[in-house]
Structure 1
């Protein structure tokens, strides 16, 4: 049996909901809501290349940068590609777009979230946040 043989409809909806929760938490600058989406042993590489190991490091970084993050604009997050590695592990590509408060697109990112299903709940277990560079 492969992952393509399993009905993943509910899981796909749940993965989209996690990314939507990232979007909502980021726009609200709500560090607690954002951090609640992570596995305790998560690893994260920021868009600037900083490696964060575990929820304590992710929390310290988030609490330092998230307040005030929307003063010049806001970002949107949308899952656009999901690949199940196993029924409880998914790779989720995210379309991240940064807008000015006037609604003008100013930058883009292309995060990859590795999500795992823990006790029936999808959480971010590893992530790489990558800026899109226009060449």
Structure 2
């Protein structure tokens, strides 16, 4: 895959963050395939673009009103010409962007013509204390890139 492909895939996250920041559930949902799967950090599973947009419409009006979405891309891997897996750290915030982002996310993206759409999203809340305990008692559980 080319640098352009990688840039185009990572730009999807920037565009998602822009829609989130505007509280625009329809623009946010437009980044997902019609049958996308969306799993939140609390374990809620949404199925399909409409379900994702509708749930975010309610979230942007209440619990997530006025929040921004922060992300840092960790890795992009292409599983072929039309499928990419992107991992990132991310979080929501109001005011100042946090230095440490508390969630780890996996996006599976598919090419749809000249754009990329999210076919599956999974969001996991990091538990740094549990990681430190695990790594202290079983150092071999620490990811190789962090040893």
TM range (shorter): 0.7 to 0.9
SS at 1:59 equivalent: helix
CA deviation profile, 1:65-106 (whole Å, cap 9, x unmatched): 1235144x5331232210111111000012213444245557
CA deviation profile, 1:23-50 (whole Å, cap 9, x unmatched): 1111221112211111111111011111
1:94 and 2:68 correspond: no
1:52 and 2:46 correspond: yes
Q: TM-score, normalised by structure 1?
A: 0.83
Q: 1:35 to 1:100 in 2, by over 3 A?
A: closer
- The answer for the alignment partner of 1:3 in structure 2 is none
Q: Structure 2: any 5+ residue segments left out of the alignment?
A: 130-147
Q: What is the CA distance between 1:120 and its match in structure 2?
A: 2.1
SS at 2:116 equivalent: strand
1:38 and 2:47 correspond: no
1:75 and 2:69 correspond: yes
Q: What is the CA distance between 1:16 and its match in structure 2?
A: 1.3
1:111 and 2:89 correspond: no
1:124 and 2:118 correspond: yes
Q: 1:102 to 1:53 in 2, by over 3 A?
A: closer
Following the alignment from structure 1 to structure 2, what is the Cα–Cα distance between the partners of residues 55 and 103? 28
Task: Extract structure 1 runs of 4+ deviating beyond 6 A.
Answer: none
Q: Structure 1: any 5+ residue segments left out of the alignment?
A: 1-6
Q: 1:70 to 1:106 in 2, by over 3 A?
A: farther
Q: Larger % of helix: which?
A: 2
Q: Larger % of strand: which?
A: 1
Higher radius of gyration, 1 or 2: 2
Q: TM-score, normalised by structure 2?
A: 0.77
Q: What is the CA distance between 1:134 and its match in structure 2?
A: 1.7
